[in-house]
Amino acid sequence: MPGRKVRDESEARRFLDAASRSGLERAAWARQHGINARSLNAWRLVVDRKDRANERAPLEFLELVPTPRAARPSSPLGLRVGDVQIDVPDDFDQDHLRRILQVVLAAC
């Protein structure tokens, strides 16, 4: 996934508008401008959801990113939100992880 992540809602809206005006597909526009296309698309979903709900509160976006192998000797998946880190081992029950993530997302 080359390119840098989209930092916040304001940047996402600028990039999405520029991509739309360019006439290019979002992924092609992102590649041309050194932006991570997956990050831009994830923000598109969040921004669209906010616009449909007509919310005025600032957006917060939680992005799960795999921890580099060297930094995770026993945990293949790490989730960091601010100062909180959750490491999930290979044999962790998927249903438990799903419930944990639902709680985290509901709190955002």
- Looking at the structure, tell me whether residues 19 and 47 fall in a common domain: yes
What's the mean pLDDT when you consider all of the chain? Answer: 78
From the number of C-beta atoms within 10 Å of its C-beta (0-12, 13-18, 19+), residue 31 rates as: middle
Work out how many domains the chain is built from and give that number.
2
- Looking at the structure, tell me whether residues 48 and 80 fall in a common domain: no
Structural domain includes residue 45: yes
Could you tell me the mean pLDDT of each successive run of 10 residues in the chain, 108 residues long? 82 93 93 91 86 67 64 62 72 77 70
Position 103 scores a pLDDT of: 74
Structural domain includes residue 63: no
Residue 21 corresponds to which tokens in the numbers above?
A: 């005006």
Q: Which residues, other chains included, contact 72 with Cβ-Cβ below 8 Å and sequence gap of 6+?
A: 78, 87
Structural domain includes residue 1: no
Residues 71 and 85: beta-carbon distance below 8 Å: no
**Strand duo 77-81 + 84-88: pairing:** antiparallel
Structural domain includes residue 88: yes
From the number of C-beta atoms within 10 Å of its C-beta (0-12, 13-18, 19+), residue 99 rates as: exposed
Structural domain includes residue 59: no
Residues 104 and 81: beta-carbon distance below 8 Å: yes
Position 22 scores a pLDDT of: 95
Structural domain includes residue 62: no
Domain with 42 in it: 9-53
Structural domain includes residue 4: no
Position 56 scores a pLDDT of: 61
Structural domain includes residue 22: yes
- Looking at the structure, tell me whether residues 44 and 75 fall in a common domain: no
Residue 20 identity: S
- Looking at the structure, tell me whether residues 77 and 41 fall in a common domain: no
pTM for the predicted model, two decimal places: 0.50
- Looking at the structure, tell me whether residues 73 and 49 fall in a common domain: no
